[in-house]
Amino acid sequence: MSNEDIKHDDQNLVPGRRKFLNTAALAGLAGAGLSVGLSSCKQEAAPPAAAPAGAPAAPAAAAHGAAGDLNLHPAPGQLDTYYGVWSGGHSGEVRVLGLPSGREIKRVPTFNIDCMSGWGITNESKAIIGTKADGSLKYKTGDTHHIHGSYVDGTYDGKYFFVNDKIHGRIARIRGDIFECDKITEIPNIQGFHGIFPDKRDPVDQAINHTTRVFCGNEFHIPHPNDGRDADDPTKYKTLFTCVDSETMEVRWQCRVDGNMDLVATSYNGRLAAANQYNTEGGAKYEDMMSAEKDACVFFDVGRIEKAIKDGKFVTIGDSKVPVVDGTKEANKDPKTALTCYVPVPKNPHGVNASPDGKYFICSGKLSPTATVIELTKVEEFLDGKLDDVNKSIVAEVEIGLGPLHTTFDGRGNAFTTLFLDSQIVKWNIDAAIKFHAGDKNVKYVVDRIDVHYQPGHISTDMGETKEAGGQFLAVGCKFSKDRFLPVGPLHPENEQLIDIRGEKMVMLADHPVYPEPHDFVIVKRDKIKTRQVFNVDDFPNAVKDAKDSGVFREGNKVTVKLVSQAPAYSLRDFKLKKGDEVTIILTNLDKVEDLTHGFAIPKYDINFIVNPQETKSVTFKADKPGVYWCYCTHFCHALHLEMRTRMIVEK
Amino acid sequence: MSNEDIKHDDQNLVPGRRKFLNTAALAGLAGAGLSVGLSSCKQEAAPPAAAPAGAPAAPAAAAHGAAGDLNLHPAPGQLDTYYGVWSGGHSGEVRVLGLPSGREIKRVPTFNIDCMSGWGITNESKAIIGTKADGSLKYKTGDTHHIHGSYVDGTYDGKYFFVNDKIHGRIARIRGDIFECDKITEIPNIQGFHGIFPDKRDPVDQAINHTTRVFCGNEFHIPHPNDGRDADDPTKYKTLFTCVDSETMEVRWQCRVDGNMDLVATSYNGRLAAANQYNTEGGAKYEDMMSAEKDACVFFDVGRIEKAIKDGKFVTIGDSKVPVVDGTKEANKDPKTALTCYVPVPKNPHGVNASPDGKYFICSGKLSPTATVIELTKVEEFLDGKLDDVNKSIVAEVEIGLGPLHTTFDGRGNAFTTLFLDSQIVKWNIDAAIKFHAGDKNVKYVVDRIDVHYQPGHISTDMGETKEAGGQFLAVGCKFSKDRFLPVGPLHPENEQLIDIRGEKMVMLADHPVYPEPHDFVIVKRDKIKTRQVFNVDDFPNAVKDAKDSGVFREGNKVTVKLVSQAPAYSLRDFKLKKGDEVTIILTNLDKVEDLTHGFAIPKYDINFIVNPQETKSVTFKADKPGVYWCYCTHFCHALHLEMRTRMIVEK
């Protein structure tokens, strides 16, 4: 299973191996194959195969051994030219990178707890995350996978980024102007929420040419509702595809389907959303999940679904009031009225991606060494009763290598697919693949391969998820880094590698270690993002707008302490409480200078948070420990930062 | 207060301004001066002043505009040559960087909660962090400031790194072989624990030439004990200097002193520890904290303190059993028996650093534009009754610029001090400063200045805290980054800048954004660190060493679920619990391949953690929600990672 074992045929540099990996071979990967791949990493990987002479031409790009004008290493003070918006996997966070330098500029606490910013500590963040009846956080863990930006006219508008939580089935929204999470929604009756994608145009009103909905793929099938019933009978387990309103962040509707969904993609014309599916068998053990030779890419006719709901053709599940339509295969046999359309693809596919020209959806084989190219208009024709066989929407299904997972695009007709088992990226030409599939076996659709380090998952080019795909460079998230960085003990970083794609051949540019474990990411031209660098004090209803409004305000044992910060002091030098008080501290940072953030920590009371310029935050706690507590500024602000304190005195 | 205002005199490039900043001027910094400094950042800073011809010569280093052989940008696959071990400030964590590239290789969750690794979630991590009576975490916040490695023979042995938590007064230890926290100790009767430093040789038994103790500076003065007494009378507030055993991590003793301590340094011969002090006035408001013209650097005679404790000359405070000796000025008037020695330095100093030749301790003025050079042997002579005036231990006190905070060394006799208000680093020669101070006003002790971006705090050269100071490069933690990176909203990253110090003039190499907010850091040659990359299964007493030992073991409503992970499966495909069970899941990762980490998440039960190769972890929770819960692997492990699940069925 190591790279050295791969034999390429003369035609398309395709591994000359079994078309499908069978169950026994895959189970064995853990013991032998994958282990060999993993332990052989210290050997120099073979150079990528030479590009065949007949490969489709990429636009002129001079031979370049290094980064050329990509400015991989900005000089001190120089800015990057792209934002990378990265999911943080089961760190629960989102990250903002500068690219091409790969420098991490910000972490955006989302589903996790972050004691730097006070995320999960302040009342404002707790209201977003959600609390139990006793006021404590409902969840402190999360697993972000896929992150996508909101669209206008087929490209990013920089307004929002959406990201899922796989553990608890939630979707979060990140504001693009401040890079902070402002909404989290828990989706009912799902488990293992994997992929998301915003729509790019309204499926009902074509005049609305921007994102209004986000679609959510549900991976694990469970009883409906999941209250203890049907636990022993996996045949009764179900999955739901969910539509969330991008503005209100409320769940609009759900659609029941067969199979386990991972990734989601949407059409540029707004009509269709799609999700790759594995385990259409409905198995509860991994061998059962890959017994069938074919799974599916399921397409959703959004307009028809919303019409069905309008017509009352839905049910609800348990306590949830969300309308649920039936999108199972069995219930949608007539294409002309079908809400869904199941396009068969080789077993256990992973990843579905829409090409920037709007024409194709590409499904990666995972357990099949193939990519399947589905032509969007043909799916629409099938749904309109104009195509007799849904299989005719498959315009190519070509071998590209072992373990294909995700695909991205350069905007020049080429696709780049990660090959997990080969530890490679394969660059292939979509038109050439279609010609090959149509019968012209002389066409060489594979343009290039490059070794990556190691076991790649997601991949994304600059603006590759938009119609403005730039074709400059790509990032690839390698799940294993092994020997690529200084050793730091048993837990390794992941390796986000950067690759130049301007020429016909790919050129490896850089390794970037990242804390586990990013899944997906998007690369956004910097002019798409317009940030607000100082808050507006009026945006906070509880703001303390003047230092003279500071004070301790008591109603029985409920006490509100109003404070402002202005370097190097808080407006109260001390404040007194009584043991047993229920205390709310409201702090407004009246400093207006950009970057002049203050912190507020209370020793032994387990409180810390920051207030950015002109921002207001609050915390609520019980004053249960008498004594003197020096609340201090934790965020270096001034030459007298160390002296910036206020004494909280809790009387016995 | 902006850089443009600074006038240098002809002699030493020293700002020709008032010797001390007075109270009014400092309070005004917030409103005018600092704001001007901050808002003027978009202008190009003036180039550093030319090095004077007579500056002490640094070893030959060819002129170099770039990084030369420092390998600032390792080619893909190339390793860095140094480890950077970084505190994470009020993110509560520690970070490991590769240098000179500046890439962050690992976060080490310490005082924070980290849902990626399960820190604060697993039973093992909760035991280290500490819990309340109900089993919940005692603290979820922390504020790491200063981090230092353990020593052998005056240099790092790579065994441990120690770091403080300022919020709750705790010290943590990070194992250098696995870069994980293994111990946290809460120090009694202190608040605002700021600086730490390990000893470098045993003060009692000189044959023990490695770290055995860690010394801890206590910043905020509080009542003793802090139980509500004396709250209104700051004159009764006290601070303690604390000695912690580096192996057991138990508190050995405490020493009461006057004033608020920040940083700590230790002598290479083991006899003395020192802490800079501000607010020797004992003020409770910032104006009072800087009313006196002089504060102190306090030295601790460790051997005498431990002898006093052996002789029973100590008290205890409240419930604490830790022996506390009296190190106040009043109680230590006779130097020959004194436990402490207060060397007067200009008001509100910040930072004390020991030079790599073992001769000097350097205190930075903060509110005075000076550095004070204290000769160690003279402090010892004073304590031995051989020097009549402690002020004679001050061999230099020279003006270096505005807002001096911290100092590092190149091992060639030069010191590098951060100037917070000037936003500069000043390079100055220690011997020249001593000559200047002695009366030779022709000596030019300032060698070079360089603008940094912006407002620098800590600074450290490669191996600069050891006798092996290498003099290759330094990192400087800039507290404001403002316009140096792509804007990401009101919260800015900090800027860790890298500077080449091989030549006479400093050369700015790179900007690195970091999540707020690192304080201190050390730079360690990579051969000092020896990591274990796979755990030993026998190191975990609760390990499940064989898949056949898996199962559900019930005693009443207490249930233990034993599991192993081997890609791509857990040893149990499902397991059944009853609603109300108190469940402990023990998971051992039997995979032995380096980097083959698995995760374990339980939807809706708010659990996620990882097990590295051959590691065992456990979690305990109440099965309070009936239903089917697909526990899944959150850490990408295998081509069948998505299929790696087990069903937890909770029966009604």
- The residue of B170, B187, B227, B491 whose CB has the most chain A CBs within 10 angstroms, and thus the best one to mutate to test that interface, is B491
Residue B1 clears pLDDT 80, i.e. is over it: no
For A328-349, how does the pLDDT look when each residue is reduced to its tens digit (9 = 90+)? 999 999 999 999 999 999 989 9
Q: How far is A16 from chain B (nearest CA, A)?
A: 19
CB contact under 8 A, B92 and A591: no
- As a whole number of angstroms, the distance between CA B413 and CA B435 comes to 13
- As a whole number of angstroms, the distance between CA B170 and CA B549 comes to 39
For A461-479, how does the pLDDT look when each residue is reduced to its tens digit (9 = 90+)? 999 999 999 999 999 999 9
Last residue of a domain, one of B532, B550, B573: B532
B517 and B576 co-located in one domain = no
A302 and A169 co-located in one domain = yes
- The residue of A72, A581, A614, A643 whose CB has the most chain B CBs within 10 angstroms, and thus the best one to mutate to test that interface, is A643
Q: How far is A311 from chain B (nearest CA, A)?
A: 33
**pLDDT for B37:** 33
ipTM: 0.92
Exposure of B319 by Cβ count < 10 A (0-12 exposed, 13-18 middle, 19+ buried)?
exposed
Edge to edge, what strands does the sheet with A170-175 contain?
Answer: A144-152, A155-165, A170-175, A180-186
CB contact under 8 A, A453 and B77: yes
Residues of A in contact with B115 (CB under 8 A): 90-92, 111-113, 140-142
B524 and B541 co-located in one domain = no
Q: Which of A260-269, B269-278, B283-292, B629-638 has the lowest mean pLDDT?
A: B283-292
How far separated are the first and last CA of chain B, in Å rounded?
Answer: 70
Under the banding of pLDDT at 50, 70 and 90, the label for residue A69 is confident
**pLDDT for B67:** 56
Residue B52 clears pLDDT 60, i.e. is over it: no
- Average pLDDT over every residue of A24-50: 38
**pLDDT for A287:** 83
- Average pLDDT over every residue of B506-530: 97
Averaged pLDDT score across all residues of chain A:
91
For B301-342, how does the pLDDT look when each residue is reduced to its tens digit (9 = 90+)? 999 999 999 999 999 999 999 999 999 999 999 999 999 999
- Average pLDDT over every residue of B125-141: 97
How many percent of chain A have pLDDT more than 90?
Answer: 85
A112 and A213 co-located in one domain = yes
Report yes or no on B526 lying in a domain. yes
**Burial readout B370-396 (b: 16 or more C-beta within 10 A, e: otherwise):** bbbbbbbbbbbbbbeeebeebeebbbb
Report yes or no on B491 lying in a domain. yes
- Average pLDDT over every residue of A164-181: 98
Report yes or no on B524 lying in a domain. yes
Q: Measured at the alpha carbon of residue B557, what is the angle toward residues B552 and B559, in degrees to the nearest 5?
A: 25
Q: Tally the domains of chain A.
A: 2
Report yes or no on A98 lying in a domain. yes
Residues of B in contact with A219 (CB under 8 A): 642
**Burial readout B23-38 (b: 16 or more C-beta within 10 A, e: otherwise):** beebbebbeebbbebb
For B426-480, how does the pLDDT look when each residue is reduced to its tens digit (9 = 90+)? 999 999 999 999 999 999 999 999 999 999 999 999 999 999 999 999 999 999 9
Q: Please name the member of B21, B489, B535 whose beta carbon is closest to the beta carbon of A533.
A: B489
- Here the CATH number for the domain that contains residue B411 is 2.130.10.10
Longest dimension (CA), chain B: 88
Last residue of a domain, one of B502, B532, B562: B532
Nearest CA in chain A to B219: A642
Contact B463, B470 (CB under 8 A): yes
Last residue of a domain, one of A480, A502, A528: A528
- CB count within 10 Å of CB B259 equals 23
CB contact under 8 A, A91 and B77: no
Q: Which of A360, A329, A486 minimizes the C-alpha distance to A428? A: A360
A524 and A557 co-located in one domain = no
**pLDDT for A573:** 95
CB contact under 8 A, B636 and A457: yes
- Average pLDDT over every residue of A532-561: 98
Report yes or no on B356 lying in a domain. no
Under the banding of pLDDT at 50, 70 and 90, the label for residue A28 is very low
- Average pLDDT over every residue of B192-200: 96
As beta bridge partners, residue A609 has A600
Contact B123, B607 (CB under 8 A): no
Averaged pLDDT score across all residues of chain B:
91
CB contact under 8 A, A484 and B77: yes
For B395-431, how does the pLDDT look when each residue is reduced to its tens digit (9 = 90+)? 999 999 999 999 999 999 999 999 999 999 999 999 9
- The residue of A175, A595, A651 whose CB has the most chain B CBs within 10 angstroms, and thus the best one to mutate to test that interface, is A595
Dihedral, CA of residue A500, residue A502, residue A504 and residue A505, to nearest 10? -10
CB contact under 8 A, A77 and B649: no
Residue B3 clears pLDDT 60, i.e. is over it: no
DSSP states of B239-264: EEEEEEETTT--EEEEEEESSEEEEE
CB contact under 8 A, B192 and A80: no
A495 and A569 co-located in one domain = no
Residue B6 clears pLDDT 60, i.e. is over it: no
Q: Please name the member of A88, A453, A601 whose beta carbon is closest to the beta carbon of B143.
A: A601
Edge to edge, what strands does the sheet with A82-87 contain?
Answer: A103-108, A94-99, A82-87, A521-525
A343 and A256 co-located in one domain = yes
Report yes or no on A381 lying in a domain. yes
Residue A32 clears pLDDT 50, i.e. is over it: no
Structural domain range at position A490:
48-270+288-308+315-528
- As a whole number of angstroms, the distance between CA B567 and CA B644 comes to 8
Contact A239, A259 (CB under 8 A): yes
- Here the CATH number for the domain that contains residue B646 is 2.60.40.420
Residues of B in contact with A487 (CB under 8 A): 529, 531, 533
Under the banding of pLDDT at 50, 70 and 90, the label for residue A288 is confident
Residues of A in contact with B403 (CB under 8 A): 639
**pLDDT for A67:** 56
- Average pLDDT over every residue of A189-200: 97
CB contact under 8 A, A228 and B34: no
A329 and A299 co-located in one domain = yes
A406 and A501 co-located in one domain = yes
Under the banding of pLDDT at 50, 70 and 90, the label for residue B281 is confident
- Average pLDDT over every residue of A588-614: 98
Nearby residues of B631 by Cβ (< 8 Å), 6 or more positions away: B570, B600, B601, B602, B603, B645, B646, B647, B648
Residue B26 clears pLDDT 70, i.e. is over it: no
**pLDDT for A39:** 32
B416 and B517 co-located in one domain = yes
Nearest CA in chain A to B611: A491
Contact A129, A184 (CB under 8 A): yes
| B135 phi-psi bin (left φ>0, alpha ψ -120 to 50, beta other) | left
CB contact under 8 A, A489 and B517: no
Residue B637 clears pLDDT 70, i.e. is over it: yes
Report yes or no on A21 lying in a domain. no
B596 and B520 co-located in one domain = no
Give B75's Cβ-side CA count (13 Å radius): 4
Report yes or no on A39 lying in a domain. no
Residue with tokens 């004691």, as numbered in its chain: A115
Distance from the Cα of residue B420 to its chain's centroid = 19
For B215-273, how does the pLDDT look when each residue is reduced to its tens digit (9 = 90+)? 999 999 999 999 999 999 999 999 999 999 999 999 999 999 999 999 999 999 999 99
B639 and B546 co-located in one domain = yes
Query: Distances from the Cα of A300 to the Cαs of A176, A243, A341, A353, in angstroms?
Result: 28, 11, 7, 15
Q: Which amino acid is at A232?
A: D
Under the banding of pLDDT at 50, 70 and 90, the label for residue A104 is very high
Residue A237 carries which DSSP code?
Answer: -
- Average pLDDT over every residue of A349-367: 96
